[in-house]
Chain A
């Protein structure tokens, strides 16, 4: 299995693609930060007892007045910016991943149903998708959040509500071409129940294009969540994601305290850039048509 992968064309191309290596490297680095990050820092930014107001607004350590305990400086409560980023990245990545999985599941299901059964169900699902696609995701999410209020769960719902459409469309398209094929016809003639044909035969054959969409979507979701939180309609202040860190930093930017907002932005950029680089590589690999 392993040697098979190491010899595969996919791995061969991977080794030769700088962008794929850099992209996956950034993603891995980020994953490591999210997983073990909190063990790397001594301060828990959520634990008020570990904060000291005497440490507030310390610049990054390489600037005058910096403190080696706080490599990227501190915010107004004496919170270590580096520690806040490590904790905030967890929330951002969690939201991005969970919303992607939810969107993918719901979208794939609706796409399969629409493509397999056709008729009224198909029309209804696809018209909803059409209408939704004519509006920018960020605006729909902003509108939903303004109606339901802040909260991690609500951000997840809003992101899923805008995210399912791409999967439904793609899966419906592939399903339509799959059900014409002989193996599905054969399964029908053999008398398999519909749900079994969908699950065992159609589903595995429509999944490949979703890998690219799902990869890129995590990055898109992290950005949308950050924008919502920046506008104050995303996560609550008790669970500050990277976007909320930037918002908090923005409030003191005009006093010249740039580090509380600039570094969380770099973190988002690193993650999303890594995802997009790797996603581009995946797109080229999995879509032979574009080669």
Chain B
């Protein structure tokens, strides 16, 4: 167990290191950051001085080394636009994103699992076919477009939900949370629904496929034969065994939700870190982009690790090696 954890820790560090190299390389393509910090009418000597101050006159290897050491020390530099530490900017907006992703995930699971179990248990039924066609439509829709249609219908046309922003928040352990206020819930519904549709469709299809797979197996017949109720057969015996691939997808989907949150947040002007990323891309605010990418990379690596751990909990046959 300890050996496994150590091995995974080394692997995770390695992945993060590779990401840091790629981020550094790509960032050096994005034009000269010196022009982000000097005034427009700066003279050549001022530009040269700024370049020296930023360390941009040194060789790429030295620059990378400085980049890496400051990353490790948690120093990501100042945002060119906000003149604040980039890390603080991201962390301020993290709760808003996490909140939206979690609500979307809960919605997706709450709809996908029961419908997936039903469609897997009655593959030929008319309702199942409708569910499956609906889920295929769900993965064929551009998410941002769905968000727009929802805004048009519910905000512009009927005026029942707000079209943008986060609404009132309440403070909990120093974090600003919308889910604690009625107004916050009112604001989060549309973006969360938009974000959840794709994940809902994929989880549903995976659950159905898993249920169909286990449905053919002997223990299911046996459970039926011993007289377990239909609900118990499906959920206690079937779903538990069908969940293993779903958990992997669940982990990947959590990552996808964080990625797609950038788009959803842009549409709904949701003040999360995804919107900050898009704004920073427009403004070439390099330090913020770097923090976002490294933070998200860290989140993904940790999610993947947790998924592997959860595996062993649901399926004792899989051992950690």
Contact = CB atoms under 8 A, between A and B. Distances in A.
Interface of A: 19, 131, 134-136, 138-139, 142-144, 146-148, 219, 223, 226-227, 230-233, 243, 246, 249-250, 253-254, 256, 258, 261-262, 265, 268-269, 272-273, 275-277, 280
B198 to A, nearest CB: 9
B263 A147 contact: no
Contact of A262 (B144, B152, B252, B281): B152
Determine chain A's interface SS by DSSP, over half rule: helix
Contacts of B266: 231
Secondary structure call for the B interface: helix
A258 B152 contact: yes
Nearest to A231: B278
B278 A276 contact: no
B125 to A, nearest CB: 15
A253 B156 contact: yes
B137 A253 contact: no
B163 to A, nearest CB: 7
Interface in B229-287: 252, 255-256, 258-260, 262-263, 266-267, 278, 281-282
B262 A254 contact: no
Interface stretch (B23-31, B106-114, B116-124, B183-191): B23-31
B156 A147 contact: no
B142 A256 contact: no
Given A246-B144, A253-B152, 12 more contacts: A19-B133, A134-B255, A135-B259, A136-B252, A136-B258, A138-B260, A143-B26, A246-B148, A250-B148, A262-B148, A273-B140, A276-B140
27 contacts: A134-B15, A134-B300, A135-B255, A136-B259, A136-B260, A138-B263, A142-B281, A146-B30, A146-B289, A147-B26, A148-B29, A223-B140, A226-B144, A231-B262, A231-B266, A233-B281, A243-B142, A246-B142, A253-B151, A256-B156, A258-B156, A261-B145, A262-B152, A265-B142, A269-B145, A273-B137, A276-B139
A285 B144 CA distance: 33
B180 interface: no
B19 A280 contact: no
A258 B148 CA distance: 9
A269 B30 contact: no
Contacts of B144: 226-227, 230, 246
Given A139-B259, A223-B142, A246-B144, A265 B163 contact: no
B293 interface: yes
A269 B263 contact: no
B297 A135 contact: yes
B148 A232 contact: no
Interface in B69-95: none
A224 to B, nearest CB: 10
B18 interface: yes
B148 A135 contact: no
Interface string B151-175: 1100011000001000000000000
Contact of A269 (B18, B140, B293): B140
A146 B139 contact: no
A291 to B, nearest CB: 12
A124 to B, nearest CB: 11
B149 interface: yes
Contacts of A254: 156, 163
A144 B289 CA distance: 12
A262 B136 contact: no
Contacts of B255: 134-136
B301 A134 contact: yes
B318 to A, nearest CB: 19
B141 interface: yes
A131 to B, nearest CB: 6
Contacts of B282: 232
A231 B136 contact: no
Nearest to A277: B136
